[in-house]
Structure 1
Amino acid sequence: MGISGFEPDFVVGLEAVREDHGLRLAQLGGRRLSGFALVRFVDDGDWFADCPVVLDFEGVRVEICHWKFDELSIGWNTIDTTAAITGWEDSDFTPAWSGADVRLEPYVGQLLRDVSLLEWRAPGQDLADGTVAVEFAFDAGCFRIGNGLDENTIEVGEPDPEYVKHRLSG
């Protein structure tokens, strides 16, 4: 993807995510969201949802990226959002880091109350079954970075009832 410092380590399933990152995610509780970065296309401002979502909690950055139908990579303080994204010179699109997003902006400066992993559990045959989203809850509400079946999603407000919540902190 040409993102400086991004070396994803994808895992699958709730237990793998909890084992690899549960404690560090829980330790974010009590910190303020001080900023975030998303990759947007320079030409039209559209979000490039294939790239990681970087959330800064007072100097501790968590980097979340969903891939394929069920893989999730969580990184810690590795991505350089000040560096240009390379490898797109021959493309019709120019991606760049942005600190603008109407869904996330209301949470900047807010104290993180708790972090949860949400596991999608829908009855019957559902391609998303077992995918994991990471939810960040504040007094003003919550948002989650979920799996849009091969890209990230950002959802605000109460989660879909098909999610099973597994609290890590709070």
Structure 2
Amino acid sequence: MGISGFEPTFLVGLEAVRENHRPRLAELRGRRLTGFALVRFVEDGEWFADCPVVLDFEGVRVEICHWKFDELSIDWNTIDTTAAITGWEWSEFTPVWSSADERLQPFVGQELREASLLEWRPSGQDLADGTIAVEFAFDADRFRICNGLDENTIEVGDPHPDFVRHRLG
């Protein structure tokens, strides 16, 4: 993707993600969300949801990226969002890091109350069954970075009832 420092380690399933990231996600509790970065295209401002979502909690950056139907990478302090995104000369679009997003902006400055993993467990058959979302709860509201089946999605508010919450702290 041409993102400086981005070397994802994709994991599958709740146990793998929890085993590798529970302590660090839980340690974010009490920190303020001081910023975030998404990749947008210069030409139309659209979010390129294939790229990681970078959240900054007072200097501790968590980098979340979903891929394929069930893979999740969570990395820590590796991506340089000040560096230009390279390797897109073939494309008609120019990707850049952006701190503009109407869903995430209201959370900047708020203290994190809890981070959780959410496991999608629908009552019926569903291709997304077992996918993992990372949820961040604040006093005023919550948001989560979910698997949009080969890309990231950002959802705000209470999760769908088919999500099972796994608290980390």
TM class by shorter chain equals: over 0.9
Q: Using structure 1 for the length normalisation, give the TM-score.
A: 0.99
For residue 5 of structure 1, what is the aligned residue in structure 2? 5
Q: Distance in 1 between matches of 2:110 and 2:124?
A: 38
For residue 34 of structure 1, what is the aligned residue in structure 2? 34
Q: Distance in 2 between matches of 1:153 and 1:13?
A: 18
Q: Using structure 2 for the length normalisation, give the TM-score.
A: 0.99
Q: Distance in 2 between matches of 1:90 and 1:67?
A: 23
Q: Distance in 2 between matches of 1:124 and 1:37?
A: 35
Matched residue SS, 1:62: strand
Cα deviations across residues 37-93 of structure 1 (Å, max 9, x unaligned)? 000011000000000000000000000000000000000000000000000012111
For residue 97 of structure 2, what is the aligned residue in structure 1? 97
Question: 1:124: how far off?
Answer: 2.5
Q: Distance in 2 between matches of 1:28 and 1:126?
A: 32
Establish whether residue 127 from structure 1 lines up as the match of residue 122 from structure 2: no
For residue 57 of structure 2, what is the aligned residue in structure 1? 57
Q: Distance in 1 between matches of 2:152 and 2:117?
A: 15
Cα deviations across residues 16-35 of structure 1 (Å, max 9, x unaligned)? 00000011000000000000
Counterpart amino acid of 2:139?
D
- Aligned pairs (5 A) from 1:19-168: 19-168=19-168
Cα deviations across residues 112-161 of structure 1 (Å, max 9, x unaligned)? 00000000001232000000000000001000000000000000000000
Cα-Cα RMSD: 0.5
Matched residue SS, 2:33: coil
Matched residue SS, 2:129: coil
Count the aligned residue pairs. 169
Matched residue SS, 1:119: strand
